[in-house]
């Protein structure tokens, strides 16, 4: 899944429907914002730490994000991911600990989701017109899909930490970390803040969030889960977020229609086809935003029945929104219910 396929499905709630603006605003605390990975980042602090100039903190956080982007971007030709993708070697390819960590996490979710989360799916996303090239809304031939499917699959990808390296079984295999790297970046910023002795924060990168501590008024951070409508924004649910991360994946903004059929940007890597079920939005809570990010994508691919069943089996706190005609129905897994207000 490309970076364009991730949308701003979550926004922080700081008052009324201002929560649904692209970059959430706050009337409490201090905020630092900027750009990264083709989207925005915003860090909101209950109190600004003594002894740390604001521009120094801004520089520190931006540098951490720039490093992750330099390592994992598919748009930068000299990133580790791009160099690995271009390599025709099937030997171990040295990478940073950061990149290896993210790929290992992706491979674990690939196995646990029965292949629904797959970071090698990028060529299929491109084939369906949802990649970096401008879409022509043309349907790929079945033979093209089958030919690509034969060359993809994270079972043909390997990763290790000691020493950190990646390995592919054939030269054409490529990876795209856009469905997990933003979550990792959120965790990385949270770690940076905690290392600086800042316990109360809300980190938001393109709608993926992690909260530590509480707001300046000693109440929990609150977030909103959007109603999955393409033409207008509304709030489906709000919930407090305390020492927890949340990520959302949905299929309702990036799609095209042809001959009365809707084709979503969410591609099932097991079939090579866009998803066509009624599950339109999945939000996952986890202490790791990286894990939440990957699992949100996995469940949206799996669909309402299979996705819910796996989430219950894995004890994932998941919030699912299902389209029923012109209405929506929400389902919370057993592990999610304790987090409701």
Q: How far apart are CA 309 and CA 311, in angstroms?
A: 5
What pTM did the predictor assign?
A: 0.89
Q: Which of 4-13, 242-251, 299-308, 322-331 has the lowest mean pLDDT?
A: 4-13
Cα 145 to Cα 185: distance, rounded to the nearest angstrom? 32
Query: What's the mean pLDDT in 4-22?
Result: 35
Q: How far apart are CA 114 and CA 310, in angstroms?
A: 10
Q: What pLDDT, on a 0 to 100 scale, did the predictor assign at position 264?
A: 64
- Mean pLDDT computed over 160-176: 97
Sign of the Cα torsion 283, 306, 153, 126 reads negative
- What's the whole-number mean pLDDT along residues 108-113? 98
Q: Which pLDDT value is given to residue 174?
A: 96
- What is the average per-residue pLDDT within 208-218? 95
CA distance 109 to 290: 11
State the pLDDT at residue 257.
55
DSSP code for 47: S
What does the buried/exposed string (b/e) look like for 88-112 if buried means 16 or more CB atoms within 10 Å of the residue's CB? eeeeebebeebbbbbbebbbebbeb
pLDDT of res. 8: 35
Q: How many domains does the chain have?
A: 1
221 forms bridges with which residues in the sheet?
Answer: 241
Contact by Cβ (8 Å): 264, 18: no
Residue 68 in 3-state DSSP?
A: helix
Summary mean pLDDT of the chain? 87
Query: Residue 338 sits in which domain range?
Result: 1-341
Residues 6+ apart with CB under 8 A from 232: none
The beta-carbon contacts of 232-238 under 8 Å, at least 24 apart in sequence, are 233/17, 233/20, 234/17, 234/20, 235/13, 235/17, 235/19, 235/20, 236/281, 236/321, 236/328, 236/330, 237/319, 237/330, 238/13, 238/341
Confidence category of residue 157, pLDDT binned at 50, 70, 90: very high
Considering only CA atoms, which of 298, 111, 89 is closest in space to residue 173? Answer: 89
pLDDT above 90 coverage of the chain, percent: 67
Strand, coil or helix: 84: helix
Strand order of the β-sheet with 39-45 is 30-36, 39-45, 201-205, 208-212, 244-250, 279-286, 318-324, 327-332
CA distance 177 to 99: 9
Task: Specify the CATH number for the domain of residue 184.
Answer: 3.10.520.10
Task: Provide mean pLDDT across the span 261-265.
Answer: 62
Contact between 37 and 180 under an 8 Å Cβ cutoff? The reply is no
pLDDT higher than threshold 80 for residue 17:
no
The pLDDT > 70 percentage for the chain reads: 85
Q: Which of 144, 332, 328, 196 shows the shortest CA–CA distance to 252?
A: 328
């Amino acid at each position: 899944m490309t970076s364009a396929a991730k949308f701003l499905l979550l926004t922080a709630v700081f008052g009324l429907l201002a929560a649904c603006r692209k970059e959430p605003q706050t009337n409490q605390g201090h905020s630092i914002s900027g750009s990264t990975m083709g989207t925005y980042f915003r860090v909101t602090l209950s109190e600004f730490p003594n002894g740390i100039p604001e521009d120094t903190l801004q520089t520190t956080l931006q540098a951490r994000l720039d490093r992750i982007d330099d390592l994992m971007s598919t748009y930068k030709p000299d990133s580790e991911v791009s160099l690995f993708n271009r390599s025709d070697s099937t030997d171990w390819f040295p990478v940073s600990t950061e990149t290896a960590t993210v790929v290992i996490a992706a491979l674990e979710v690939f196995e646990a989701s029965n292949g629904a989360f797959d970071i090698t799916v990028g060529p299929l996303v491109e084939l369906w017109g949802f990649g970096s090239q401008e879409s022509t809304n043309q349907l790929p031939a079945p033979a093209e899909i089958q030919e690509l499917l034969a060359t993809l699959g994270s079972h043909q990808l390997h990763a290790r930490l000691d020493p950190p390296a990646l390995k592919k079984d054939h030269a054409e295999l490529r990876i795209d970390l856009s469905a997990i790297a933003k979550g990792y970046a959120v965790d990385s910023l949270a770690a940076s803040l905690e290392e600086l002795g800042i316990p109360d924060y809300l980190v938001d990168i393109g709608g993926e969030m992690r909260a530590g501590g509480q707001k300046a008024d000693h109440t929990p951070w609150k977030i909103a889960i959007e109603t999955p409508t393409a033409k207008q924004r509304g709030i489906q649910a709000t919930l407090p977020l305390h020492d927890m991360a949340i990520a959302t994946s949905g299929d309702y903004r990036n799609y095209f229609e042809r001959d009365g059929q809707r084709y979503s940007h969410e591609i099932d890597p097991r079939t090579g086809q866009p998803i066509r079920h009624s599950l339109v939005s999945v939000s996952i809570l986890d202490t790791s935003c990286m894990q939440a990010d990957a699992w949100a994508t996995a469940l949206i691919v799996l669909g309402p029945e299979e996705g819910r069943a796996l989430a219950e089996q894995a004890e994932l706190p998941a919030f699912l929104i299902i389209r029923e005609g012109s209405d929506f129905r929400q389902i919370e897994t057993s592990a999610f219910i304790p987090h409701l207000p």
